[in-house]
Chains A and B, each alone.
Chain A
Amino acid sequence: AQSVTQLGSHVSVSEGALVLLRCNYSSSVPPYLFWYVQYPNQGLQLLLKYTSAATLVKGINGFEAEFKKSETSFHLTKPSAHMSDAAEYFCAVSGNFGNEKLTFGTGTRLTIIP
Chain B
Amino acid sequence: ETGVTQSPTHLIKTRGQQVTLRCSSQSGHNTVSWYQQALGQGPQFIFQYYREEENGRGNFPPRFSGLQFPNYSSELNVNALELDDSALYLCASSLSTDTQYFGPGTRLTVL
Chain A residues in contact with chain B, CB under 8 A?
34, 36, 41-46, 49, 90, 92, 97-107
- 15 additional A-B pairs beyond A45-B2, A46-B101, A49-B99, beta carbons within 8 Å, are A42-B105, A43-B2, A43-B6, A43-B90, A43-B103, A43-B104, A98-B96, A98-B99, A99-B97, A101-B45, A101-B48, A101-B56, A102-B33, A102-B35, A104-B43
Q: Give me 22 A-to-B residue pairs in the complex whose CB atoms sit less than 8 angstroms apart, sorted by A's number.
A: A34-B99, A41-B107, A42-B104, A42-B105, A43-B4, A43-B6, A44-B43, A44-B92, A45-B2, A46-B102, A90-B43, A92-B42, A97-B97, A98-B97, A99-B48, A99-B98, A99-B100, A101-B48, A102-B43, A102-B92, A105-B42, A107-B42
Contact A101 B58 (CB under 8 A): yes
Contact B42 A100 (CB under 8 A): no
| B31 in contact (CB, < 8 A) | yes
Give every chain B residue within 8 A of A103 (Cβ-Cβ): 45
Which of B31, B42, B100 is within 8 Å of A106, CB to CB?
A: B42
Interchain CA distance A34-B94 in the complex, whole Å: 15
Majority secondary structure of chain A interface residues (helix, strand, loop or mixed): loop
Give every chain A residue within 8 A of B102 (Cβ-Cβ): 36, 43-46
Task: Closest A residue to B55 by CB, please name it.
Answer: A99
Interface residues of B in 1-31 (CB under 8 A from A): 2, 4, 6, 31
Give every chain B residue within 8 A of A34 (Cβ-Cβ): 99
Give every chain B residue within 8 A of A46 (Cβ-Cβ): 99, 101-102
Give every chain B residue within 8 A of A106 (Cβ-Cβ): 40-42
How close is B50's CB to chain A, nearest CB, in angstroms? 8
Task: Closest A residue to B30 by CB, please name it.
Answer: A99
Give every chain B residue within 8 A of A105 (Cβ-Cβ): 42
Give every chain A residue within 8 A of B31 (Cβ-Cβ): 99
How close is A34's CB to chain B, nearest CB, in angstroms? 8
Give every chain B residue within 8 A of A43 (Cβ-Cβ): 2, 4, 6, 90, 102-105
